[in-house]
Structure 1
Amino acid sequence: MEATLQQIQELRENFFQKEKEDGGDFHPADIARIKNSDDWLRRFLVHNELDMNQSLQMLWDTCDWRKKFGTNDITENNVKREYLEDGSLFVHNRDKDGRSLLIFNCKKHVKGQKDFEELKRCVVYWFERLERLDKGKPITIFFDMAETGLSNMDMEYTKYLISLFKMYYPEFLNYILIFEMPWILNAAFKIIKSWLPAKAVQKIKFVNKSSLKDVVPSDQALKCWGGTDDYVFSFVPEQRTPVLNDNKADDSKKKVHFADGSPLVETPSSGFGDVISKIDGANRSNISLDISPPDAINFTSDGSEVTGSITLTNNDEQIISYKIKTTSPEKFRVRPSTGVLHPSDLVTINVLLQPGYQVSGLSREKFLIMSLVVDSGDLNAQELAELWKQTAGKNVSLHRLKCNLGSAALETTVRNGNAYSALKSVDIDREVREISTGVLQLRESHNRLIAEVKHTQKLQWLTIIVAILFGVIVAFSMSHSEPHEETCRILREHQ
């Protein structure tokens, strides 16, 4: 299935028409890519089987995620460098199709020992580096699972990796190679396969030292895989032209990143729910905006979705515009995220946890409510977006909220739009452990049964041997009883 130049151009025109109507605010590098790269747009069309509406939505969502995640600005200088240097994830050599190998050395990764948000940034770093290196050609994921066990199986990490391919990196996967997976992890991989689309499942190949040569040439395979390459890992930074950034913040202050990826400076003494009267060094005046609940968004579950809400009431005598930001915009859908309130007006902001994300990490997230006085209440979406792009010199008030989890939300997370219980990563791990323990018990019972059968067989042979010996003894005794009786008769006669 291939996209035509006409379809690519149609997708491009549809995107910019939607941007004009909806007031999209995307990274300039991504806008330039849409204008100039037919191949990038082709990938969205092929991924969605040439469905124009789905391709447009995926392209839009991808650009939105890239802007919020700060994808274009990720380098080895702003990710956790020690994670890049520990050898648990790196790029080296190519498969038989000439595609780069992104290698996960699973025995060097132990679930829970690393900061998950930093791990995600490291994965995106390698995805972006490979996009530049191979100009968007597909890559092969290589899971080196030799010498691994249950502690090395991180379901949440794997699920995030899958979500990147499904949602933001179309037509970027060549193969998934799984090298020497221990049988004890079979149950976990059955769960993982259920997360993959049908096309991706077909790309999974389980390999060992003898079969790896069918997908990775011997000179491209490490010696520990049975190949001839004696490479020893050492992280090498990417050689790129540095991007100058004159926006320097005071390092003595703590930075909290909200929504669009730009840091808002938070002084260490400020607590949650406090209204901050300073931003970027400019003096701001407080605005009378009532926020309920005042300290935290309370998330609950109705059995299908995990949601929370905030109510904003304008107690001021002037018109107020508001905007909602969050530390992890990829996790949430916030509706409406911006708007205008006349005096005494109120609005309820609904916050939805996106499908595929775990509720267990929500307690670390924060929301920021920004508000300022405006002259007119008749602002459209594009005008609101432009308003919030230029806040310097304006009277802006900030209000921070934590996230609280209700007991129902703690037990439920959302996958593909449907709720399912006990799928927090810890529950998945527990399920895998229980299945694996059951398999071990079955194997032990099987071994005991075999041992008992062998023991029974030995007893049967021993019984046969004893019976034979007993028969021989009886026969021998009987054969000697007649001469003895004859001897006794002769002796009696002589007497």
Structure 2
Amino acid sequence: MSTNCIFIFLENLASGLYDTRDITRLQTDDAYAGCFIRHVMNDVSAAVSLTHTSLKWRKEMEINDLSETSFPRWVHDLSAMYYHNVDKEGRPVLIFHVARCKKDAEKHRLQKQYIAWIFEKHFLRHPDERVVVCFDMTGAGITNMDVELIKFQVTCFTTYYPSFLAYMLVFDMPWILNTIWRVIRTLLNEAQQKAVIFVKGDEIFSYIDRDQLLKTMGGTVGVATVYWGKGNESVVPK
């Protein structure tokens, strides 16, 4: 392990580059610290670098200060992103209804904070439990595809929230959006690309049981229900 890497990290810590709440968690929560090591296959130097990037970003985005009241009511009312039941392996499923979003560069920081806040709801409580992310592309078109926001979510999976993603389902993607997704996949390494699974119609039931999925996606559930994490606490506000 590079001693220079550690020295730089400690220097950054002393300069106030990180939120002290994140440092405290890193020192006291083995499951949280383990996410960084596990994500880079036990390469300690790489884990230190990854930790630096994640913690620096967390302070810049004020992640620890975000709450439900940090966002306008209309953001919540979109119901574009929420945890909903589990997959066949019992992992929580995070649904993202792409058609409910519109590209708006002026709101990117707010949107990124909201996405991070949703991720945080699970990652804060269960850093050792991976999540299935399902992009519901039903009815989505070019105006709904914000490449910058999708790149941001990819970076969340690869860097900001290490070991968070179990796999990603892309459900019923219109052919017109194929080119955009090909560009996005170039941002992923080979292992991460294999974790992106495109499904249409009933193919999704190979991963999520019908009684765990919304009717709008071919399931039997009429109303969205949040996933209840270990210990029976809701991981997102109702």
Identify the TM-score tier after normalising by the shorter chain.
0.7 to 0.9
**How far is 1:16 from its partner?**
8.7
**How far is 1:137 from its partner?**
1.6
Change in Cα spacing, 1:119 to 1:56, as seen in structure 2 (3 Å) is: same
Aligned counterparts, 1:424-443, within 5 A: none
Aligned counterparts, 1:306-325, within 5 A: none
User: Residue 23 in 1 paired to residue 14 in 2?
Assistant: yes
Aligned counterparts, 1:235-384, within 5 A: none
Q: Tell me, in whole angstroms, the C-alpha distance in 2 between the residues paired with 1:63 and 1:113.
A: 25
Give the corresponding residue for 1:287.
none
User: Residue 116 in 1 paired to residue 108 in 2?
Assistant: yes
- Counterpart amino acid of residue 69 in structure 1: M
Give the corresponding residue for 1:189.
181
* Bigger fraction of residues in helix: 2
CA contact (8 A) 2:85 2:225 kept: no
Q: Tell me, in whole angstroms, the C-alpha distance in 1 between the residues paired with 2:131 and 2:202.
A: 22
- Counterpart amino acid of residue 23 in structure 1: A
Structure 2 length normalisation: TM-score?
Answer: 0.85
Q: What is the SS of the residue equivalent to 1:211?
A: helix
Larger RCO: Structure 1 or Structure 2 (Cα < 8 Å, ≥ 6 residues apart)?
A: 2
Q: Tell me, in whole angstroms, the C-alpha distance in 1 between the residues paired with 2:12 and 2:66.
A: 30
Q: Tell me, in whole angstroms, the C-alpha distance in 1 between the residues paired with 2:116 and 2:71.
A: 10
Give the corresponding residue for 1:230.
222
Q: Tell me, in whole angstroms, the C-alpha distance in 2 between the residues paired with 1:35 and 1:96.
A: 34
Give the corresponding residue for 2:230.
none
Change in Cα spacing, 1:57 to 1:92, as seen in structure 2 (3 Å) is: same
Aligned counterparts, 1:456-495, within 5 A: none
**How far is 1:27 from its partner?**
2.1
What do the CA deviations read for 1:80-111 (whole angstroms, capped 9, x no partner)? 33212211222211112222222111111122
Size of the aligned set, in residue pairs, is 227
Q: Tell me, in whole angstroms, the C-alpha distance in 1 between the residues paired with 2:24 and 2:202.
A: 46
**Counterpart among 189, 198, 202 of residue 206 in structure 1:** 198
Structure 1 length normalisation: TM-score?
Answer: 0.43
Give the corresponding residue for 1:88.
80
Q: Tell me, in whole angstroms, the C-alpha distance in 2 between the residues paired with 1:237 and 1:39.
A: 17
**How far is 1:182 from its partner?**
0.9
Q: Tell me, in whole angstroms, the C-alpha distance in 2 between the residues paired with 1:37 and 1:182.
A: 42
User: In percent, how many aligned pairs have the same letter?
Assistant: 28
CA contact (8 A) 2:211 2:221 kept: yes
**How far is 1:230 from its partner?**
1.1
User: Residue 220 in 1 paired to residue 212 in 2?
Assistant: yes
Change in Cα spacing, 1:161 to 1:66, as seen in structure 2 (3 Å) is: same
**How far is 1:133 from its partner?**
4.3
Change in Cα spacing, 1:237 to 1:211, as seen in structure 2 (3 Å) is: closer
- Counterpart amino acid of residue 96 in structure 2: F
Give the corresponding residue for 1:162.
154
RMSD value, Cα:
2.6
Whichever of the two has the greater Rg, that structure is 1
Give the corresponding residue for 1:59.
51
Change in Cα spacing, 1:192 to 1:17, as seen in structure 2 (3 Å) is: closer
**Counterpart among 145, 154, 170 of residue 178 in structure 1:** 170
- Counterpart amino acid of residue 160 in structure 1: F
Change in Cα spacing, 1:36 to 1:82, as seen in structure 2 (3 Å) is: same
CA contact (8 A) 2:170 2:197 kept: yes
Give the corresponding residue for 1:39.
31
